[in-house]
Structure 1
Amino acid sequence: MSQVVVVTGASAGVGRAVARAYGKRGARVALVARGRTGLDAAAREVRDAGGMPLVVPADVSDDEQVAAAAARVESELGPIDVWVNAAFATVFMPFEEISPEEYRRVTEVTYLGCVHGTMAALRHMRPRDRGVIVHVGSALAYRGIPLQSAYCGAKHAIQGFHESLRCELLHERSGIRTTMVQLPAVNTPQFSWVRSRLPHHPQPMPPIYQPEIVADAVLHAADHPQRREYWVGGSTVATLIANALVPGLLERYLARNGYAAQQNADVDDPARADNLWEPADGTDGRDYGARGVFGRAHERSPQMWASHHHNALALAAAGMTAVGLGVLRRRTPRARRAR
């Protein structure tokens, strides 16, 4: 029987790409988001790809709506196998320009939306003692950057929540697994509908990747949830290493370059909107699809290839280590005789 998969934030961007990828597998896919226009378009793509869609309009910041969505999925599609937390909201502006209401909204959608989705999924998965929950994270869960303090704070919170929950499930010897996919900069429509007070069009800090790469990573993570997290894009790993090895260097670099790198004066985007409180792809809105306006985005990720071939690489590394140790053992007696 085909998998039952729930994807939040499924109307556009990464969530849309994930839903379409599961459709190609023939899965029964529940599409959860606020924007009805985007949800209906996503349902057509899932159906055309070979899957069975179910449109479930809901705001993930409302725990009752999320619980009702999960109950409907179980009733109409069957037991949930995979739950993907991909919904989020954000604002682009310096911290001092963000209102308390805006900050609260980003936190409720991005962080609490993930918590609500996980609670709803576990409520149905626990009696069966099986299922997978995938959190769509970010390199910004490890490294905060300027102009995105609300989003960075929410992604850091998801990281801590994920690690804590994972430990609890391991303690219980639960058959339920949770994992996290850490994203690089992705070419999604968020930059066309994010609330912004920047002088120029917001953009992700390069290098930028297409959302289909992330979708591939999410499906791979759901298939192999024994790992705590998966990284997409070599730049995310480089950021983590630089942050660990040279404390303070990254802050100075971002302070100098982070403002300009997240703006693009050359982008002509007549579809610019604001979806913080209301969906830009609502009943009278337009369908934004999975990809954004940045055409020169990477179609492949070496880091994701490495994740797919993790076992082979580990075996190769172990083999090289064994060879090295063998060489050392052969050389050691000679060294002792020489002394």
Structure 2
Amino acid sequence: MNGIDTLEGAVVVVTGASGGVGRAAAVEFGRNGARVALLARGEAGLEGAAEEVRTAGGQALVVPVDVANAEAVEAAAERVVTEWGRIDVWVNCAFSSVFAELGRIEPDEFRRTTEVSYLGFVYGTMAALRRMRPAGRGTIVQIGSALAYRGIPLQSAYCGAKHAIVGFTESVRTELMHDHSDVAITMVHLPAMNTPQFRWLLSRLPQQAQPVPPIYQPEVAARSIVRAAIRPRRAYWVGVSTVQTIIGNRLIPGLLDRYLGMTGYSSQQTDEPRPADQPANLWEPADRTVDHGMHGPFGDRSKATSVQAWASRNRRALGAVGAALGGVAMIAAASRRR
């Protein structure tokens, strides 16, 4: 797949940019000299993210939008082109969801989750392709998850959306290949992340929700997202737990069913009771008037680096080094036999 030549001066759109992984990615793009359009609903969160992008060295354009509204997404894309002339990279990262058993989720809540977390990706991809295909270049980065391959309890709406994104992206990729297009589409699958989502998603759990350990800081994901924009490939896997989950589900899905049935409830809840007045951003943004920042409350338990993610981003260089070392070993062995 072709990427873009440089991020210096590139025009990047990031949905879900007001917090968490989307915000971390926006800042990382800014650090690489990009012009970053930040799309989300929460205006306070967007302004906070824009300031961080500028501080990192990039330019920022705030575009409040609900990605579940196809017309609004199209209008947002047109505004970016009007302001900056083109779109080089589009990152779909926005989502919302419900922490609850299926029997405690209302049909309209499940529909809303699907509209934001799946159809928002569809609408974003459509808007990006309308501008990238005529230009003959560009990269679309879909933010996936280990849960795109392995469903877990209490997250049926989210897991369903992430699974759908994989099928959708594979279909679009084959269409681009058929047309011999230089537009690239790639996925970045993430592990558990320390983001504000666990304090603002709609929850009906008795205790506070938490990510299933091991937990990583959003910056770990951001570095792989930026790499995917420059050097897109079919997919990037971030974190050892993501690799273990995806491969494990291919090999022992039935065993994982039973394991998650026994442990999936407790591993996703802390010992802290959930406040009755906790905000829920399913219908209204939790960061409209208050900026919750990039990180969640699990910083003391979160990893700031991932050796696996670094190796994945640099696998070509590692392969070359490995081949060179192998060659040296062969020469040394041959010398000893003389």
Matched, 1:298 2:303: yes
Q: Which residue of 1 aligns with 2:238?
A: 232
Aligned residue type for 2:244: A
SS in 2 for 1:83: strand
Partner residue of 1:52 out of 59, 67, 76: 59
Contact 1:192 1:269 survives alignment (8 Å): no
Deviation of 1:318 after TM superposition, in Å, equals: 5.8
Q: Which residue of 2 aligns with 1:68?
A: 75
Q: Which residue of 2 aligns with 1:165?
A: 172
Matched, 1:312 2:334: no
Name the CA distance, whole Å, in 2 between partners of 1:271 and 1:13: 22
Instruction: Return the TM-score normalized by structure 2.
Output: 0.91
- The within-5 A match list for 1:75-86 is 75-86=82-93
Matched, 1:16 2:20: no
Instruction: Spell out, residue by residue over 1:50-103, the C-alpha distance to the aligned partner (whole angstroms, 9 max, x if none).
Output: 111111000000000000000000000221100000100010000111111000
Runs of 4+ more than 6 Å apart: 267-271, 319-326
Instruction: Spell out, residue by residue over 1:191-220, the C-alpha distance to the aligned partner (whole angstroms, 9 max, x if none).
Output: 010100000000111000000000001001
Q: Which residue of 1 aligns with 2:146?
A: 139
Q: Which residue of 1 aligns with 2:115?
A: 108
RMSD: 2.0
Structure 2 spans left out of the alignment, 5+ residues? 1-7, 332-338
Contact 1:192 1:271 survives alignment (8 Å): no
Contact 2:206 2:273 survives alignment (8 Å): no
Partner residue of 1:214 out of 210, 215, 221: 221
Q: Which residue of 2 aligns with 1:33?
A: 40
**Higher deviation after alignment, 229-238 or 309-318:** 309-318
Aligned residue type for 2:49: A
Matched, 1:258 2:298: no
Contact 2:92 2:141 survives alignment (8 Å): yes
Name the CA distance, whole Å, in 2 between partners of 1:220 and 1:270: 41
Aligned residue type for 2:202: R
Structure 1 spans left out of the alignment, 5+ residues? 327-339
TM-aligned CA distance change 1:97 to 1:323, over 3 Å = farther
Larger gyration radius, structure 1 or structure 2: 1
Aligned residue type for 1:287: D
Name the CA distance, whole Å, in 1 between partners of 2:231 and 2:214: 27
The count of corresponding residues between Structure 1 and Structure 2 is: 323
**Higher deviation after alignment, 190-199 or 47-56:** 47-56
Deviation of 1:325 after TM superposition, in Å, equals: 11
Percentage of identical aligned residues: 59
Deviation of 1:312 after TM superposition, in Å, equals: 2.8
Deviation of 1:253 after TM superposition, in Å, equals: 0.7
Instruction: Spell out, residue by residue over 1:21-59, the C-alpha distance to the aligned partner (whole angstroms, 9 max, x if none).
Output: 111122111010001010111111111211111110000
